[in-house]
Amino acid sequence: MMKPERPVGIVGYGAYIPRFRIAAREIARIWDGAGGTPVDSKSVPGPDEDTITMSIEAARNALARARIAPDRLSAVWVGSESPPYSVKPSGTLVAEALGATPWVSAADWEFACKAGSEALTAAMGMVGSGMAQYVLAIGADTAQGRPGDALEYTAAAGAAALLVGPAAEAVAVIEGTTSYVTDTPDFFRRADTAYPVHGHRFTGEPAYFNTLRSAAERLLRDLGAKPSDFTYAVFHQPNTRFPQTVARQLGFTPQQIATGLLSPKIGNAYSAAALLGLCAILDVAKPGDTIFVATYGSGAGSDAYALRVTEALPERRGRAPLTAAYLARETFVDYAVYAKRRGKLVME
């Protein structure tokens, strides 16, 4: 287990989910009407939205909750697999929009669906060492799936921002983290192609389940804790079934994961997926509640965290829109609008 010498926690948090949705059955109507769908619907970014714009809104919500002036941030880090530019950091533009520039570290992190939690772990180190007082770790994605591919049912959009600071100021103290990483070819995209591919032999048990379980079990063991010690749990959610299954394998109950399980309604928000679930939990958790978080990124790795909610949370959460407010803004689009918005129509 990793834990900084100086205790750290989440001082502010912010969610963002675009208003548009497409129903999974609408995708099935076009490609394959048979069988079930992995989620009910997924979020779709608006025509003027991308990883940068969603990061900005989630980050503003985190700063509003913490009431921290943006120029006090020591770092603004964006974890994503869908940066708008291949070369030109998202972090600089987000930092500029927040008003955190110029005396700030800004960078982009990359690790499939766990790029955001990479930034979170690094933020723990930066604050925990005393190098920084406040670091903003963001996970944001506008994920793409090849038309007709199984991934198209779930590849979604969203952002979550976690403002890491001293434990004494936190709404939730981070009690420890583990990171489990191997080189696993379960899912990848080459630089010049639009859509990723699955390494089907590896997807599932060797990748998601084994990796996430390894990080989670090690954290539980090092903490001397058991699943029933936690009020809530949230896992990376590429669909509905995977997080439900890994929760059961680890010994968490459906009740523990219910609050943070957003994938049935918004799909897989990639780098934001587990972190948005954490935001939804922080929206309702009470002081003293405990939260278990495990992310997953293809390639493959998992970061697990144990958090304890403090007395500061109830007052701070009302200062920005709750995750539920974004979930409630549901405007459904059909496949034609979705295809146009997501650049799936070839114009020339």
Instruction: Quote the least distance from Cβ 12 to other proteins, whole Å.
Output: 13
User: How many C-beta neighbours within 10 Å does residue 127 have?
Assistant: 27
Does a cis peptide bond (omega within 30 degrees of 0) precede residue 102?
yes
Decide whether 304 or 320 has the Cβ nearer to other proteins: 320
Instruction: Quote the least distance from Cβ 72 to other proteins, whole Å.
Output: 15
Using an 8 Å Cβ cutoff, are 223 and 1 in contact? yes
Decide whether 83 or 299 has the Cβ nearer to other proteins: 83
Decide whether 80 or 240 has the Cβ nearer to other proteins: 80
Decide whether 49 or 81 has the Cβ nearer to other proteins: 49
Candidate list 49, 57, 113, 118, residue with the active-site label: 113
The widest CA-to-CA distance across the chain, in whole angstroms, is: 60
> In this structure, what token pair is assigned to residue 141?
């994605």
Decide whether 60 or 236 has the Cβ nearer to other proteins: 60
User: How many C-beta neighbours within 10 Å does residue 119 have?
Assistant: 31
Q: Find the angle CA(51)-CA(240)-CA(58) to the nearest 5 degrees.
A: 25
Cα dihedral 239, 145, 292, 289 in deg (nearest 10): -80
Instruction: Quote the least distance from Cβ 58 to other proteins, whole Å.
Output: 12
Instruction: Quote the least distance from Cβ 317 to other proteins, whole Å.
Output: 5
Is residue 279 part of the annotated active site? The answer reads no
Which strands make up the sheet holding 157-166, listed edge to edge? 105-109, 75-79, 135-142, 157-166, 8-16, 172-181, 301-309, 290-294, 232-235
Candidate list 57, 81, 152, 175, residue with the active-site label: 81
Instruction: Quote the least distance from Cβ 93 to other proteins, whole Å.
Output: 7
Candidate list 49, 152, 175, 236, residue with the active-site label: 236
Q: Find the angle CA(250)-CA(6)-CA(65) to the nearest 5 degrees.
A: 75
Report helix, strand or coil for 2.
strand
CA distance 232 to 87: 39
Residue ranges that bind other proteins, judged by CB under 8 A: 19, 46-50, 52-53, 56-57, 64, 84-85, 93, 96-99, 283, 317-322, 325-326, 329, 331
| Sheet strands (E) in 185-310 | 187-188, 197-198, 232-235, 290-294, 301-309
User: How many C-beta neighbours within 10 Å does residue 36 have?
Assistant: 9
Decide whether 56 or 300 has the Cβ nearer to other proteins: 56
Is residue 236 part of the annotated active site? The answer reads yes
Report helix, strand or coil for 23.
strand
Instruction: Quote the least distance from Cβ 300 to other proteins, whole Å.
Output: 31
Instruction: Quote the least distance from Cβ 287 to other proteins, whole Å.
Output: 16
Active-site residue list: 81, 113, 236
